[in-house]
Structure 1
Amino acid sequence: MRLGVDLGGTKTEIIALADDGRELLRQRIPTPQGDYLATLMSIAGLVESVENSLGQRGTVGIGIPGAESLATGLIKNANSTCLIGKPLKRDLQALLQREIRLANDANCFALSEAVDGSGQDAEIVFGIILGTGVGGGIVIRRQVLTGANAIAGEWGHNPLPLPSGDDLPLPPCYCGRTGCTEAYLSGPALAADHRRHTGQTLTASEIDRRAADGDAGCEASLQRYEERLGRALAGVINLLDPQVIVIGGGLSNMQRLYRNLPDTCRPHIFSDGFSTKFLPPKHGDSSGVRGAAWLWN
């Protein structure tokens, strides 16, 4: 039995998978806010609860909104700031009395879709998260690529390629740099761009809905967004050449992305042909927690 835990900013979810990928049990609880010790205990409690319910012990994989430093073993780059600088893996192994495997949540999302999701037949899968932030994970032959600095797939903090016109001035990013892809392509960034051009304060989903109803301002905002997304993903495609890009996060619900991205990417692709597929996640918002379980694949 494989147990996967998705440690999110607002909720923590656990799933138990049989060896063939069947879901055996799932539980979800609120994530303790700003409390590292309470976070450790909540994860341990979930594991104990599921194992008691199913009467068996499982391997444990955990997806987190950050990464484990390969130099120190401490957590870095985490949106849940109470984790930063903490030995999360070591502490959880002590609590659970077993080895655990830890990975960035976007890596878990990509792994889930590569193992038994939308990218299950692909050699290279790039999984992207378009939501409150912009993240990514790379899976090659069903193995997560971590990288020398544990940042493989972090395309959200590359500069947006070829900024000009409406892309300027370069917007600040929470990471301390300016012009990051995330500062253009997150849900809040789309809403901010729309507000600058129209004066309207709308969420990304509202912009999408109004564009479908014929609102010209919303349509223009989405076209700017798609053109930027095409530029950003073209750089990834030229480097990795994935067969499949799976799109997760709240903005993955915008169905027009799957129709329009091939055309916005194509002008920037260094090839005479372009066959990369853009697909929604087969497992939806369950992909991250399933991918955590598949860290023991």
Structure 2
Amino acid sequence: MASNYHIGIDLGGTKIEVAVLDSQDKILFRERLFTEAHLGSEHIFDQIHALYSKAVMSIQNKSHTLGLGTPGSISKKTHLLKNSNTLCLNDLPMQALLEDKLVHDIVIENDANCFALAEAKMGAGIGYPSVFGVIMGTGCGGGIVFDGKIRQGPQNISGEWGHMVIDPQGSPCYCGASGCVETFISGGGLEKRIKNTTGNSISAMDFFRIPLKDESLKKIKQDFYVRFGQALANLINILDPDIVVLGGGLSNEGSLYKEGIEEVYKRIFNDVPTTPIVKNILGDSAGVIGAALIGERLTQ
């Protein structure tokens, strides 16, 4: 029997969010806590449990599905979490641990896939057969949705453009490679570049808002647009999606939709590039909505 309520949990590097959707996909309850990953995996599970308990109380313990979006994905070979930039969670049996702690079946999916699904079904991607969803936040991820369904791939790595190498001489990435997209255009990667170049700590969003007098900072900013263009054009040249939807904190930076898109279009392998590259509609709700939507698999 199908459940009338769907609970989603969005596990991010900075915050964890929970939301409850009804059968019409309307948000009934929403709350968040800081992830505080530096306190370890047990603390993260406790934060998830606290949010989930409040969500269940909001629907008076009624029947529901449960989905969780997380950086990385579950290995089909080991059933352990892999490729997460919340490093303390890698190599853990996330599904077993959470189902034991929450006493409920759960579907776990990559957070960028959740974002892409939400935008495809309820956001900027409505009406487009293929949607590539981009996350530019603490890390850099991506998800592919074809005909309303997530493309996972046989290795659960479909859409992981953040670990496409665009400069082998670039900075080391936690994945073991050097010069990944994530090291250049994620919020975390950009902040590290600023720190390593100038010795100053500037948040990614402040970097775009404050006047830049330092020539080295101006070069970093221009290089950011170039790397964004290089990375996204490579992706478009391979997939040719009907639309690209940007999400994550950096998607709020307006210059991406001018200087950034100009750099992308210079590099697309077509005489007249037409790929729409747009800001998300669902805002920071997209990830948690997508997590709730993937939980619906439990009833299918």
TM-score for both structures, normalised by structure 1: 0.87
Decide whether aligned partners of structure 1 residues 25 and 209 sit closer, same or farther in structure 2, where only a CA change above 3 A counts. same
Q: Distance in 1 between the 2:160 and 2:178 partners?
A: 16
Give the equivalent residue in structure 1 for 2:203. Answer: 203
Match of 1:69 among 71, 75, 90: 75
Q: Is the Cα–Cα contact under 8 Å of residues 61 and 296 in structure 1 kept in the other structure? A: yes
The partner residue of 1:116 within 116, 119, 122 is: 122
Letter in 1 for 2:184: Y
CA distance in 1, matches of 2:117, 2:25: 13
SS in 2 for 1:171: coil
Q: Determine which of 54, 60, 64 is the counterpart of 2:59.
A: 54
Give the 3-state SS of the residue equivalent to 2:52 in structure 1: helix
* Corresponding residue of 1:230: 229
Runs (4 or more) in structure 1 with deviation over 6 Å come to 195-200
Q: Is the partner of 1:222 in helix, strand or coil? A: helix
Q: Give yes or no for contact 1:243–1:275 (8 Å, CA) kept in 2.
A: no
Q: Is the 8 A contact 1:261 1:278 kept in 2?
A: no
For these two proteins, the number of residue pairs brought into alignment is 289
1:24: how far off? 0.7
TM-score when scaled to structure 2?
Answer: 0.86
Which of these residues, 25, 28, 50, is aligned with residue 21 of structure 1?
25
Match of 1:184 in 2: 184
Taking the TM superposition and a 5 Å limit, the aligned residue runs for 1:78-227 are: 78-160=84-166, 163=167, 169-193=169-193, 202-210=202-210, 217=215, 220-227=219-226
Cα deviation digits, residues 158-188 of structure 1 (max 9, x gap): 111xx5xxxx842222222112111221224
Cα 1:32–1:232 shift into 2, 3 Å = closer
Taking a change above 3 Å as real, the CA distance of residues 275 and 60 of structure 1, as seen in their structure-2 partners, is: same
User: Where in structure 2 are there 5+ consecutive unaligned residues?
Assistant: none
- What's the CA shift for 1:274? 1.8
1:261 and 2:260 matched: yes
**Is the 2:85–2:174 Cα contact (8 Å) retained in structure 1?**
no
Secondary structure in 2 matching 1:12: strand
Q: What is the SS of the residue equivalent to 1:72?
A: coil
- C-alpha distance in structure 2 between counterparts of 1:158 and 1:175, whole Å: 11
Conserved in 2, the CA contact under 8 Å of 1:138 and 1:144? yes
* Cα deviation, residue 250, structure 1: 2.0
Aligned to 1:287: 286
Equivalent position of 1:31 in the other structure: 35
Give deviations 1:115-158, integer Å, cap 9, x for gaps.
Answer: 10111221111111222221111111121111111111111111
Give the Cα–Cα distance (whole angstroms) in 1 for the partners of residues 54 and 197 of structure 2. Answer: 51
Compute the RMSD of aligned alpha carbons. Answer: 2.5
Contact 2:169 2:178 in 1 (8 A): no
Letter in 1 for 2:48: I
| Aligned mates of 1:195, 1:143 — CA distance in 2 | 40
